[in-house]
Structure 1
Amino acid sequence: MLVPVDGGDLAVEVHDGDTPPVLAIHGVSGSRKLWNWVAAHHFSLIAPDLRGRGDSVEVPGSGISQHADDMLRVLDALNLDAVTVCGMSMGAYVAVDLAVRYPDRVRALVLVDGGFPMPAHASLTEETLAAAFAPQLAARERTWTVDEYLTVQAAVNPLIDATDPLIREYFAHDLTPDGHLRLPGGTLIADATDVVFGTSRWRELTVPTWFAHAEWSTGPDTPPAYTVEQAAAFRAELPVLHEPVLINEVDHGGTVMTRAGAAVVGEVLAEALK
């Protein structure tokens, strides 16, 4: 379905399942297909392509608050007063902003490897951030077949299963019919800049919140985005935060884009839906 937002129409996929509806918000370079692994566990998901991505690629603009306002439009279009919201990576920051500014529309919050300050961000500058995204920006200068793009992504993401049909569907959704990536470089950098240099309002959360985080960041044995100790510190400071859940033997992307990671996220989401 298409939902009117400022500047165009947002593409939204609705997965029918056995649960109350969950608004699922993907990360900075992802798309609505990120949630296919969680949907396979029979959750009812509302999964938008955020502006500038996938089938919403023609909608201009960026920024955490802009995306949160778009999510409010999605809920309005579906006549949903309040839902559980699940966000991964940048989507978790969007979910926090939505829950802080519109707490009456969010009954519970599930944050997956995002939403809280990442210690690694403290050392970044705008120059080093742009350098970190240089490979992604370069990829936008050429055309790809799905097989070529999948091969490159499998090399960059060693924990994904390149034979998984959901992986192929996920990365195929990144491409236009003529093989260009459906995420402008300017949008990617603008949203990443807002995540890294913006201020998460997590301390202002008033809705029940769950946090699941990965053991690794980009492959086996890499330092995580959040340590167990850091997650415990967030819980000590935020009364509405339940006991954080460590997802073992997955990295940042694998929290949702692997069957093992999605199973744990599903367990956390089921708890939040009770």
Structure 2
Amino acid sequence: MLVPVDGGQLAVETHDGDTAPVLAIHGVSGSRKLWNWVAAHNFSLITPDLRGRGDSTALPGATIKQHADDMLRVLDALDLAAVTVCGMSMGAHVAVELAVRHPDRVRALVLVDGGFPMPAHAQLTQETLSAAFAPQLAAQERTWTVDEYLAVQAMVNPLIDATDPLIHDYFAHDLTDDGHLRLPGDTLIADATDVVFGESRWQELTMPTWFVHAEWSTGPDSPPAYTVEQAQAFRAELPVLHEPVLINEVDHGGTVMTPAGAAVVAEVLAEALRPELTASASTTNSTSSGS
């Protein structure tokens, strides 16, 4: 379906399942197909292509606030008063922004390897950030077949299974019919800049929140985006945050793009959807706020 937003229309896919609807928000270089593996666990998912990605490529502008505004339009278009929101990487930052600005529309949050300040970002500058995305920018200069593009991605992401049909579907969605990458370079850099140098309002969250993080960042034995100690520090500071969940032997992308990672995210998401947990946490938070 297409949802009217500022500047055009946002492409949104829905997956029918046995749960209450969940708004699932992908990361900076992803698309709605990122949630293929979680959808396989029979969740009812609402998965937008964020502006500049997939079938929303034509939409101009890209900031965390703009993406959050778009998500609100999606909820309005589907006549959903409040939903559980699951965001991965940059999508987790968008989820936090949506939840802080519109707490009445978000009943619970599941943040996957994002949404909180990432310590490694403190070492980045505008110049080094652009350099980090040089391979993605260079890839836009040529045309690809899906198999060529998938082969390169499998070398860059050693933990993905190139024979997985869901992987093929995911990377095929990155390409136009004539083999060009859909995501414009300026959109990629603008969003990454907002994530790295913008301000996350995670300390203002008031709804039940879950945090899932990976053992590695990019491939086996690489330093994680978030250590166990850092995750526990967030929990100590944020009363509504449940016990963080570490996914062993997966990296950042593998949290949702591998069967093992998606199974853990699905388990946490199922917990977040339990109404009694949400109601209990909300009551506890209200009592704490009023004391």
Shorter-chain TM range is over 0.9
Aligned-pair CA distance for 1:85: 0.1
CA RMSD of aligned residues (A): 0.3
Aligned-pair CA distance for 1:129: 0.2
Say whether 1:263 aligns with 2:258.
no
Distance 1:251 1:213 in 2: 9
SS class of match (1:10): strand
Say whether 1:101 aligns with 2:97.
no
Aligned-pair CA distance for 1:244: 0.1
Residue 144 of structure 1 is matched in structure 2 by 144
Aligned residue pair count: 274
Residue 288 of structure 2 is matched in structure 1 by none
Residue 253 of structure 1 is matched in structure 2 by 253
Distance 1:158 1:187 in 2: 26
- 1:73-88 correspondence runs (5 A): 73-88=73-88
Residue 212 of structure 1 is matched in structure 2 by 212
- 1:122-271 correspondence runs (5 A): 122-271=122-271
Aligned-pair CA distance for 1:123: 0.4
Q: Which aligned runs of 4 or more in structure 1 are off by greater than 2 angstroms?
A: none
Aligned-pair CA distance for 1:50: 0.1
Q: TM-score, normalised by structure 2?
A: 0.94
Aligned-pair CA distance for 1:268: 0.3
Residue 287 of structure 2 is matched in structure 1 by none
Aligned-pair CA distance for 1:44: 0.2
Rg larger in 1 or in 2?
A: 2
Aligned-pair CA distance for 1:52: 0.4
Alignment deviations for residues 28-87 of structure 1 (CA, whole Å, 9 cap, x no partner): 000000001000000000000000000000011100000000000000000000000000
Residue 110 of structure 1 is matched in structure 2 by 110
Distance 1:197 1:142 in 2: 30
Structure 2: which amino acid aligns with 1:93? H
Distance 1:170 1:60 in 2: 23
Residue 31 of structure 2 is matched in structure 1 by 31
Q: TM-score, normalised by structure 1?
A: 1.00
Aligned-pair CA distance for 1:231: 0.1
Structure 2 alignment gaps of length 5 or more: 275-291
Aligned-pair CA distance for 1:173: 0.2
Task: Give aligned-pair identity as a percent.
Answer: 87
Aligned-pair CA distance for 1:26: 0.1
Distance 1:104 1:172 in 2: 36
Distance 2:43 2:248 in 1: 22
Distance 1:234 1:61 in 2: 31
SS class of match (2:178): coil
Alignment deviations for residues 133-156 of structure 1 (CA, whole Å, 9 cap, x no partner): 001000011100000000000000
Alignment deviations for residues 135-188 of structure 1 (CA, whole Å, 9 cap, x no partner): 100001110000000000000000000000000000000000000001000000
Distance 1:65 1:209 in 2: 20
